[in-house]
Structure 1
Amino acid sequence: MRYRFGSFELVEETRELLELGQPRTVEPQVFDLLCQLLQSRDRVVTQDELIATVWNRNIVSDAAISARISAARAAINDNGKSQQWIRTMPRRGFRFVGAVEQSDNTHPAAMVSNQPVSQQQRVAFCRSSDGARIAYATSGQGYPLVKAGHWLTHLEHDWRSPIWRPFLDAMNKKFRVLRYDQRGNGLSDWDIATFSLDAFVDDLEAVVDAAGLDRFALYGTSQGAPIALAYACRHPARVSHLVLHGGFEKGRLIRLAESERAQGEAILTLMRHGWGKPDSAFINAFAAMFIPDGNREQVESLVDLQRQTTSPENAVAIRSAVDRFDVSNTLDKVIAPTLVIHARHDAVQPLDEGRQLAARIAGAEFLMLESRNHVVLEQEKAWPILIDRLEKFILQHAPEPDLPF
């Protein structure tokens, strides 16, 4: 059996752990532990089970188990603080929490040979200016489209998400898509000291350079909109088209409206206590704001995404930073053709935020979608309008790309 997660593959038959196709040295007992956790990833694995399967029911101390768990985490670039892949469940045991693809085919080439390009993604890593490791993915074919990082992503989870996969499928048919998990989030480093707008822009710079892109369309949604704006002003020659969807120029904690500041503080409070917990007040509020018209599967995927994408502490830190973003002094410096998209009844970023962006960016086009969702969903009437307008805006006057992925 082969298990694929992030940039890793574990192959039971050959007892190999691969990272980006390259073997990693791992002790036999650590390999067995990883196998057990991956095989039982749908539930918590108790210490007694680990002793039975990994230690053959021999007497073993808690310290020895902890040491092997730490070694397993180190083997897959995890640690006890982030617990991105292996989660400690206090007084219960351990659980593998990352998104996993399972296959009984042991030949990597055969796994993708029958898949069209639009159904494949390649995950790799680069370093931002401060050394933070950033995970990025490439997929699709056509003119290069870069999706700026935003709050709450996971490259592997999003690839199968009922919320994001339809959008990625649509984009992959027309574009070579480059996207990434921003710092503190997803497959990128979680142990981060700095969450600032400049740092987020540095991450985007690192990813674009690592992918070898010279000129491209840049798509920023939600938090990604101010990041895309800041990048477009820092590198005007590299951005051929700029698309800002559900964006803003000032975060809610620095806007003039008292109601928005109060809402921002309330979201942070709920987040601290309900992150990743099914049926918590935060999950209910989060779903009601981001996808009020989402179906059960889509809402449940938000809970799963929260558990996998970051820690409660990082979620609060990132959200606090985002709500203090201010790119109001960059809008008159944008020279790229710009399309601003906003849902009429967006509860996360009010419609006035989109109108303000479009009014202040010279020559910007404005598209208002009849939707209540911050992330437009495939089942909505607004969906085909969004996809059609985005494709036409970029492709109608798109130059020939300079470099492939």
Structure 2
Amino acid sequence: MYRFEDCELDLRRRELRRAGVAVHVEPQVFDVLAHLIRHRDRVVTKTELLDEVWGDRFVSDATLTSRLKAARQAVGDDGRGQRLIATVHGVGYRFCGDVVGEEAHPDAGASLPPVRHRDTQEIRYCHSPDGVSIAYATSGSGPPLVKAANWLTHLDIEWQSPIWAHWIDALSHGRRLVRYDERGCGLSDWEVTDFSLDAWVEDLELVVDSVGLERFPLIGLSQGGAVAIAYAVRHPDRVTRLVLVGAYARGRMQRAATVEEREEADLDLRVARVAWRRDDPAYRQVFAAQFLPDAPRVLWEAFNQMQRATTSTDNVVHFLDAFAHLDVSAIAPQVACPTLIAHARRDQRVPESQARELAALIPASVLHLVDSGNHIVLHDDPAWPDLVRRIDHFLVAG
């Protein structure tokens, strides 16, 4: 914990607070600020900052300048006053505020897992018929694998995210991975009005056509599974194999069968709407715990930071409503390709029963349950090697 003026920089929680109120900063801005404060006894060169925050990735000086500007704004400084972050022309930058440091308690929690610096990804854009700009990325080399977009992705941030980086590594290994940000989040347009399954499937069609793929395996995680199912049904001649991880055929409102279940689902949705609009940090902790119950608290914070940087609060509400009402149960039996359905046994966000329902609906499917409670299986989760091995074997067999 570092304190200066009316600010607190909490490294364990990855949170900046001013006058006790959390200030939203993007992960790279936070890392720039943290590195400058840690090394406030000297001038930090531009090269050192670039290496520390971006590793082997090439970024322009303009990118660094924009992150420094955002860091200054976050702590109440600016480029003219330079009261806290000073520019040493021709050399670099120095944090010159009075800082009080506080050591973390030994039991404060685990540290973030290291993220390996990997080869660069290629990010490009395509444009939907309704004028929405969709960002997509390719990484790795070999036969293609397409990943349908899922909950709040960000092609740039997730590249080194402790939540998603190991997924990118595994899916890109020996393959050319194609992934994209769905409309409304990440590097794609945020100003959208159509949050529907049809729009999401059409965006997937657009990305696939832009990359120039004819036949390929398709993977869908969480609600991305419904998008992948719908695409596979529309294009049976193009999808060779289908992988569904933590997926479901029916959203929570759709699968509520009793009065009590409908009331519970409706209450959950209404609370989520209010909490996200209020930017309630307590609720975000509960939300993260549903996705990653087996993870240390520091990863809950990383998950929360990424979600807040990925889209607007209004869009989160639209997404939650749309996901709750998803239903591909009527078309799932039309999936014609071999399908692997992988699911965490103790998944709290999407119960194991939803995987069993998918397996019963899709004719050429195989169900594989992994021993985890995490909706997003993490790199150090004992279930992770088993999950990767099963996906690899399934794709290689195709």
TM category (shorter chain) comes to: 0.7 to 0.9
1:212-251 paired onto structure 2 within 5 Å: 212-251=212-251
Alpha-carbon distance change, 267 to 121 in structure 1, aligned in 2, over 3 angstroms: farther
Match of 2:148?
A: 148
- Tell me the CA shift for residue 372 of structure 1: 0.7
Alpha-carbon distance change, 10 to 143 in structure 1, aligned in 2, over 3 angstroms: closer
Q: Give the Cα separation in 1 of the matches to 2:311 and 2:202.
A: 20
TM-score by length of 1: 0.71
Alpha-carbon distance change, 160 to 10 in structure 1, aligned in 2, over 3 angstroms: closer
1:159-308 paired onto structure 2 within 5 Å: 159-258=159-258, 260-275=261-276, 280-308=281-309
Match of 1:44?
A: 73
CA contact (8 A) 1:216 1:241 kept: yes
CA contact (8 A) 1:271 1:312 kept: no
CA contact (8 A) 1:242 1:338 kept: yes
CA contact (8 A) 2:256 2:265 kept: no
- Tell me the CA shift for residue 40 of structure 1: 4.2
CA contact (8 A) 1:197 1:325 kept: yes
Match of 1:354?
A: 355
- Bigger Cα displacement from structure 2, 249-258 vs 324-333: 249-258
- Tell me the CA shift for residue 45 of structure 1: 4.7
Q: Give the Cα separation in 2 of the matches to 1:140 and 1:225.
A: 22
CA contact (8 A) 2:277 2:314 kept: no
SS at match of 2:178: strand
Match of 1:386?
A: 387
Match of 2:373?
A: 372
Match of 2:337?
A: 336
RMSD in angstroms over aligned alpha carbons?
Answer: 2.7
Alpha-carbon distance change, 296 to 44 in structure 1, aligned in 2, over 3 angstroms: farther
Q: Give the Cα separation in 2 of the matches to 1:301 and 1:343.
A: 21
Q: 2:325 is aligned with what amino acid?
A: R
Match of 2:157?
A: 157
Q: Give the Cα separation in 1 of the matches to 2:320 and 2:391.
A: 27
Q: Could you report, residue by residue, the CA deviation over 1:47-74 in whole angstroms, capped at 9, with x for unpaired residues?
A: 8725547xxxxxxxxxxxxxxxxxxxxx
Match of 1:89?
A: none
CA contact (8 A) 1:276 1:304 kept: no
Match of 1:137?
A: 137
Q: 2:330 is aligned with what amino acid?
A: N
CA contact (8 A) 1:174 1:391 kept: no
Alpha-carbon distance change, 191 to 334 in structure 1, aligned in 2, over 3 angstroms: same
- Bigger Cα displacement from structure 2, 293-302 vs 318-327: 293-302
SS at match of 1:228: helix
CA contact (8 A) 2:242 2:337 kept: yes
TM-score by length of 2: 0.72
Q: Does 1:313 align with 2:314?
A: yes
Match of 1:56?
A: none
SS at match of 1:342: strand
Match of 1:76?
A: none
Q: 1:288 is aligned with what amino acid?
A: A
Q: Give the Cα separation in 2 of the matches to 1:137 and 1:260.
A: 39
Count of residue pairs the alignment pairs up: 313
Overall identity of the aligned pairs, in %: 43
- Tell me the CA shift for residue 348 of structure 1: 1.1
Structure 1: gaps spanning 5 or more residues: 18-33, 54-114, 398-405
CA contact (8 A) 2:72 2:78 kept: no
Q: Does 1:396 align with 2:397?
A: yes
Q: Give the Cα separation in 2 of the matches to 1:263 and 1:143.
A: 44
- Tell me the CA shift for residue 277 of structure 1: 8.4
Q: Could you report, residue by residue, the CA deviation over 1:255-281 in whole angstroms, capped at 9, with x for unpaired residues?
A: 133455444434433433443989723
Q: Give the Cα separation in 2 of the matches to 1:361 and 1:194.
A: 28
